[in-house]
Amino acid sequence: MKQPTADQPEPHLFVIFGVTGDLAERKLLPAFYHVTRRQGCEGDSYLLGVGRRTWTDDEFRERAKQALARSGIRGDELEEWCDDHVFFHGLEDYDTPAGFQSLRERIESIEHNCGLPENRIYYLALPPETFTGAVTGLGESGLAGGDGWSRLVIEKPFGRDLETAQALDSTIHRYFLEEQIYRIDHYLGKTTVQNMLVFRFANGLFEPLWNRDRIARIEITVGEDLGVGTRGGYYETAGALRDMVQNHILQLISLVAMEPPTAFEAESIRSEKVKVVRSITETSHEDVVLGQYAAGCIKGEQVPRYRDEPKVAPDSETETYAALRLHVDTWRWHGVPFYVRTGKRLPERTTKIAIVFREAPLPLFRAFQTEPTPNVLVISIQPNEGFDLFFEVKTPDRNFRLDTKRLTFRYHEQFGRIPEAYETLIADVVAGDQTLFVHTDEVDASWRLLTPLLENRPAVREYEAGSWGPDEIYRLLPDWADFCLTESNTSTHGGVS
């Protein structure tokens, strides 16, 4: 066995619960394979898939090869790695202690045969209602301890309100210490989301402007053109507030609004982020618009209304859209509104953060029939990852006419491929780095903020699929910086290029 170096993780067994599911096949298997190769630890990283099927190791290996091939990974090395390093164990359900005893025996036998220390990662890619059973099974069968280290990775949703999140957390803490728990919010694995820290704290240029003196408002848009697809059953229990706002959007707000951490390490960063969520004041109905998509047309294709999607109740009141005006009541942000909106069946898939700066103070150019638009910095989380800074220039004629132009940075133009979010997160779990994972305090603060709203939701309005949401969002903010959202766009002055 190779000696681990700083970049090379220790030998371990990576156990995926729910390995027969879509997330495991599409994201986790390819990400784990890429991570083992990138870190040169493919010889010492073993994978045990756990699922409710009765597959043999060989049957699972074939499926794993097919899943990896679908994501573009092929070749002799892959075949060899799967044949030697991949195993399957069937578990009838996640509530029966006897099942976990047999899992323990299986894990110990793999470790013995492969010469592995008891270093284990348990990844729960499971439906949320099975989390408690799986954690209890691991804990009661002694799998949370052992002579090496063990880490628990848990997917969202982490609870469905404050009470259920606290109950799940207390079950987990019965068996695992906080240092062993990796709560996933896959947005934190995105390079552009992490780049918020670099953008803000490694550049002297922006931080002095990053406050209520210079910034008028912040807009966050997380749009998806897809509907709920085959996930109607889950989505009916969630809705946009639980599915997107409680986690991804609050993480984005935290990174935009946090104070500089004292050190670049997990505890400092996470403790600054949680202060932001705790500083957000409670929302009233005035500050919230909820919507549900009606039928409409997206990119030339007619799509059905939400209530006609599979596994959705015909009279469903679930929100597929949420827009909120939030206030981060700190010294830095007092009086600066944060507008956020997220929804399914919007015109396109786009996640953008627009920092709208205060306008220049003197209306010097009014005589030339043009008012300056404020400078806007748009951080594109996806797609076309990068950022644009919109600013005013003089047009090349005799008058002082203004036009809005932009400076642009795009990741793919400078760096080529950027890693998939899950690749980054799995690499960090394997390395034991919790910086990009959600601390229990953050979960607690986010549910404390959202639970009162979930318990007293405003009425859900219809919006046409392919629009930016219900008309009521223009009551929250009449002029959303929509011109910043697309690559080829138009400003109030005409063209922006």
CA dist 338 and 325 (Å) reads: 6
The dihedral built from the CA positions of residue 79, 155, 194 and 219, taken in this order, carries a sign that is positive
CA dist list (Å): 89 to 26, 164, 208, 489: 20, 30, 55, 52
> Judged by CB, which is closer to ligand BG6: 336, or 378?
378
Q: Is 309 in the site for ligand BG6 (CB under 6 A)?
A: no
We find the least distance from the C-beta atom of residue 151 to ligand BG6, in angstroms, to be 21
C-beta separation of 449 from 280 below 8 A:
yes
> Judged by CB, which is closer to ligand BG6: 351, or 375?
351
Size of the site for ligand BG6 (CB under 6 A): 3
Q: Is 85 a catalytic residue?
A: no
We find the least distance from the C-beta atom of residue 311 to ligand BG6, in angstroms, to be 14
Number of H helices, E strands in the chain: 15, 18
We find the least distance from the C-beta atom of residue 243 to ligand BG6, in angstroms, to be 5
Question: Could you say which DSSP state residue 438 is in?
Answer: B
Pick from 381, 375, 335, 332: which is nearest to 355 by CA?
375
Q: Which of residues 41-100 bind ligand BG6 (CB under 6 A)?
A: none
The dihedral built from the CA positions of residue 344, 193, 152 and 55, taken in this order, carries a sign that is positive
Q: Is 236 in the site for ligand BG6 (CB under 6 A)?
A: no
> What is the x/- site pattern for ligand BG6, positions 184-223, by CB under 6 A?
----------------------------------------
> Judged by CB, which is closer to ligand BG6: 136, or 351?
351
Please tell me whether residue 434 adopts helix, strand or coil conformation. Answer: coil
What are the residues facing 150 on neighbouring strands?
120
CA dist 76 and 349 (Å) reads: 36
Within 115-161, residue ranges assigned H as helices are 131-140
We find the least distance from the C-beta atom of residue 238 to ligand BG6, in angstroms, to be 7
We find the least distance from the C-beta atom of residue 155 to ligand BG6, in angstroms, to be 9
Could you tell me the end-to-end alpha-carbon distance of the chain, in angstroms, rounded to an integer? 55
> Judged by CB, which is closer to ligand BG6: 124, or 215?
124
Please give the angle made by the CA atoms of 378, 381 and 386, to the nearest 5 degrees.
60
CA atoms within 13 A on the CB side of 365: 16
CA dist 481 and 473 (Å) reads: 13
Q: Is 224 in the site for ligand BG6 (CB under 6 A)?
A: yes
We find the least distance from the C-beta atom of residue 409 to ligand BG6, in angstroms, to be 20
Work out whether strand 86-90 and strand 120-124 pair parallel, antiparallel, or are unpaired: unpaired
CA dist 99 and 431 (Å) reads: 29
Q: Which run of H or of E encompasses 337?
A: strand 337-343
Pick from 396, 419, 393: which is nearest to 404 by CA?
393
We find the least distance from the C-beta atom of residue 393 to ligand BG6, in angstroms, to be 33
> What is the x/- site pattern for ligand BG6, positions 242-261, by CB under 6 A?
-x------------------
CA dist 88 and 394 (Å) reads: 66
We find the least distance from the C-beta atom of residue 47 to ligand BG6, in angstroms, to be 23
CA dist 264 and 53 (Å) reads: 43
> Judged by CB, which is closer to ligand BG6: 44, or 243?
243
> Judged by CB, which is closer to ligand BG6: 42, or 243?
243
* Chain residue whose CB lies nearest ligand BG6: 243
Tokens 């949680």 belong to 274
> Judged by CB, which is closer to ligand BG6: 244, or 484?
244
Catalytic residue, candidates 34, 248, 439, 493: 248
> Judged by CB, which is closer to ligand BG6: 228, or 429?
228
Q: Which run of H or of E encompasses 56?
A: none
Q: Which of residues 332-371 bind ligand BG6 (CB under 6 A)?
A: 351
How many Cβ atoms sit within 10 Å of the Cβ of residue 456?
A: 9
Question: Could you say which DSSP state residue 308 is in?
Answer: G
> Judged by CB, which is closer to ligand BG6: 243, or 309?
243
We find the least distance from the C-beta atom of residue 157 to ligand BG6, in angstroms, to be 8
Active site residues: 248
Residues that bind ligand BG6 (CB under 6 A): 224, 243, 351
